[in-house]
Amino acid sequence: MDIQLEKKKGLKPKHYGYIALGVLLLFVGWKLLFASSVSTFRTEKERLSIAQVTAGKFDDYITINGTVAPIATIYMDAYEGGRVSEKLIEEGSMVKKGDIILKLENMGLYEQILASESNLALKQNDLRSTKLTFDSRQVEGKRNLATAEYDLQRLKRNYEQNEELFKDELISKETYLLSKENYELAKKQYDIVKLQTEQDDELRETSLTGLDADLARMHKTLSMVYERLDHLNVRAPADGQLGFLDAEIGQNIAQGERIGQINVLTDFKIEAEIDEHYIDRVKRDLSATLERNEKEYGLRLRKVYPEVRNGRFKVDLVFTDEKPETIRAGQSYNIRLQLGESNEALLLPKGGFFQSTGGQWVFVVNPDGGEALKRNVRLGKQNSRYYEVLEGLQPGEEVITSNYDSFGTAERIVLK
């Protein structure tokens, strides 16, 4: 009789091989799946700049480079064109307001002056002739008026006498009527002469007033022409230093052409250029400091130029109190421009990564230092040393701060 053998329960040696093969396949699949979903870049850790996020005080300032310039520059443009006949002062010389720097000559202007003088003389002669004519007419008119008034009074008296005699029938009616008609005619003639005299007086006053106004205008025009003649002497518009002078003897200068400038050295300003990233935060009257020979000097932002060129805009700063004794135009200084108050914040040291990401994300190094993963962050203000971290990082975390351009589209950096 056969005896049925029971199978042993549990794992047999061959099962261990199957399990090991399955685990290996799962591991390989996981690695393949992970590798296909995350782009990886491998590099040596020593070739990167890595900085730690810290908590501290954020000083809201930027460091800019400025150049000392005169407080004001006054440009000299030629009021009148002409040929340079004499050069009295050279570039770099100190000048006083009104000093003659150049002398020009302009034959056309000389001819215009002669023509204006001739026209003025003719106008003066016309005015004198007109006055003589009106004076003669005025005298003649007064004489005629006096004669007419005399005749009127004489004929009136004769008429009144004849009227009484006619009433007494001592003279004929014809004699009476003749005296009456003569009187009435004299009265009309007197009224006409009087009206003509009054009209002549009004015409004389109006005409002479107009001629006087014309003469005054011609005098003013001639005066302006003489001023133009004086403008052939190019004078210093202010006290200062003649910065440059673009004119040589014999050179023709056009009207309105820029020929030089005066640097006013009574004070100095500092001209600087700032990255357009700060254009919304840089305002007038911001404070700044300049360090020279271990001493700080206060500055105030006086002017912000609105034009942006090559990603930068220009500002002018002036000293609020004393300035360095050895200051000279053309010197360069590093200036600390304060944009706001200091505050407690998370600080991330500045680096080239910002140019690659715009501060939108960074690579954060794992605690074991073997890899770094891409992480979105939000950065706020910045100064010459730090970015202010608003979101995405914690104190003590390490971030790759060097440039990311070589990483391509990688989201994971393996550090060797």
Q: Tell me whether strands 40-43 and 50-52 are parallel, antiparallel or unpaired.
A: unpaired
Per CATH, the number for 39-58+343-415 is 2.40.420.20
Residue 16 is predicted with a pLDDT of 61
Per CATH, the number for 61-69+265-338 is 2.40.30.170
* pLDDT (average), residues 365-378: 92
Is 206 in a helix, a strand, or coil?
A: helix
Residue 299 is predicted with a pLDDT of 93
Of 37-41, 132-136, 176-180, 247-251, the one with minimum mean pLDDT is: 37-41
Of 92-96, 150-154, 228-232, 250-254, the one with minimum mean pLDDT is: 228-232
* pLDDT (average), residues 382-410: 90
Is 312 in a helix, a strand, or coil?
A: strand
Whether the CB-CB separation of 215 and 87 falls below 8 Å is answered with no
Q: Retrieve residue 190's tokens.
A: 């007197």
Residues 6+ apart with CB under 8 A from 313: 273, 274, 276, 279, 282, 304, 305, 306, 307
Report the C-alpha gap between 163 and 157 in whole angstroms. 10
Residue 130 is predicted with a pLDDT of 77
- Please report which confidence band the pLDDT of residue 1 belongs to, taking 50, 70 and 90 as the band edges: very low
* Burial class of residue 278 (count of CB atoms within 10 Å of its CB; 0-12, 13-18, 19+): middle
Going from N- to C-terminal start, the domains of the chain cover: 39-58+343-415, 61-69+265-338, 108-229
Give, rounded to a whole angstrom, the gap between the first and last alpha carbons of the chain. Answer: 72
Whether the CB-CB separation of 400 and 363 falls below 8 Å is answered with yes
* pLDDT (average), residues 160-172: 88
Give the tens place of pLDDT for each residue, 314-360.
999 999 988 888 888 888 999 989 888 888 999 999 999 998 898 89
Q: Retrieve residue 51's tokens.
A: 């900085």
Report the C-alpha gap between 281 and 326 in whole angstroms. 32
Give the tens place of pLDDT for each residue, 201-227.
888 788 777 777 877 887 787 787 777
Give the tens place of pLDDT for each residue, 263-322.
888 888 999 999 888 888 899 999 999 888 888 899 999 999 989 999 999 999 999 988
Residues 6+ apart with CB under 8 A from 212: 127
Give the tens place of pLDDT for each residue, 26-56.
766 655 555 445 688 999 888 899 999 999 9
Q: Smallest Cα–Cα separation from 127: which of 242, 252, 211, 68?
A: 211
Q: Which helix H or strand E contains 297, and what residues bound it?
A: strand 295-309
